[in-house]
Structure 1
């Protein structure tokens, strides 16, 4: 069960968010042109889904080792140094992800305390900010696993410079 969740969670959230964006924006466009009206909640739901799509996309990129990184200098070093540099790099990224998660918790708590709601749906704004917490937590877990792979197993094969498809 955990393996299925680990494998499909981010892609499911990303695809569901994208499909929801497409459907709501399309329905709103049709309503505007065909019915001369607007779906009030369409833009807000699309924005909410877009935020979740982006934040979960970051976690997915880390899982697939496709997050942005500059490897030009790392590739010039021998394997022993590559491992150390990658470990330090992933550690810095982990500190950043934990910081994002902690700040996300603070922002979400402030939103809950203020009782703010989204204007069209009247949902609490904390739903929007919760994406920061989930993403930061998932990114941190992915980076911890990456540090385990590099530090304990010594596996840097996933970080080897690959030719970009053209």
Structure 2
């Protein structure tokens, strides 16, 4: 018996959320935030690296802030990337017991796994906020860029929060849909070659 029809929310970038109403809007907004952060981070890192190489080898003068900027961008890309990976069901999973379980048990396991992971991510976000606050109170500056250190690490709590939100939405999607979902956009299953579908 097919699952009940649910209106899909489509954002301006074309992302289709399989969650109804407000949850679909939140899911689409998180997808947009992830996409913007990752695109901007990767493009800025590429431009910074190219500019530094050109400066070093053609002008004999490298950019003094290039290394610090790339370190900051790596932090941004890493923490935006954990949410993106969760959205697409790409995190490493130990699935031997899960795969051997019957569908009803797998469904229940996926809800529990997603909910516990969401709680862990929200807890890490809380600790990361406390760490960022501690760094902000110290007033340390990056030597080359002369910007506060906390500006660089502020991406950690945001990344943990977005990842927690992604797992919470996955738990909800598994509760309201008939199928088993690894994430809000990835259905559980294997194709004919034995490779997991993504």
**Cα distance change, pair 82–4 in 1 and its aligned pair in 2 (3 A):** closer
TM-score (norm 2): 0.76
CA distance in 1, matches of 2:45, 2:115: 34
Matched, 1:9 2:33: yes
Tell me, yes or no, if the aligned pair for 2:30 and 2:162 is still in contact at 8 Å.
no
Provide the residue aligned with 2:167 in structure 1: 143
Backbone CA RMSD of aligned residues: 1.9
Aligned length: 165
Unaligned stretches of 5+ residues in structure 2: 1-10, 12-24, 182-186
User: In 2, Cα distance between the equivalents of 1:133 and 1:50?
Assistant: 15
Judge conservation of contact 1:75–1:161 (CA < 8 Å) in 2: no
Give the drift of 1:24.
0.6
Give the drift of 1:156: 0.7
Matched residues in 1 for 2:31 and 2:83: separation?
A: 12
The offset of 1:161, in angstroms, is 4.2
Higher helix share: 1
Q: Please, which of 107, 113, 120 is the counterpart of residue 83 of structure 1?
A: 107
TM-score of the two chains, using structure 1 as the length reference? 0.89
Runs of 4+ in structure 1 deviating by more than 3 angstroms, as ranges, are 1-7, 152-155
